[in-house]
Amino acid sequence: MTDQHQVNSTIATAICDCLKDDPDPRIDPEVAKHIAKCIVSALTEAGFAIVVADPLVR
């Protein structure tokens, strides 16, 4: 089973990284986590599943 906190944190980090060079103020990490949860929820409702990739499968 995928650790939901890890999934949300990874997405939130990506959101913050995307905006780090933006001239506007950086996004608050808590806001990024909320956005991440919304993204995961939307993907789940659409039938997608986020799982850890098997490093042996290429």
How many domains are there within the chain? 1
Q: How confident is the model at residue 37 (pLDDT cuts 50, 70, 90)?
A: very high
Q: How confident is the model at residue 42 (pLDDT cuts 50, 70, 90)?
A: very high
Q: What is the DSSP letter of 47?
A: T
The CA distance from 45 to 51, in Å, is 15
Tokens for 34? Answer: 């909320």
- The secondary element (H helix, E strand) that includes residue 38 is helix 29-45
Higher pLDDT, 44 or 58: 44
pLDDT reported for residue 20: 81
Write out the residue range of the structural domain in which residue 12 sits: 4-45
User: Taking the CB of residue 11, how many other CB atoms lie within 10 A of it?
Assistant: 20
In a domain, 50, yes or no: no
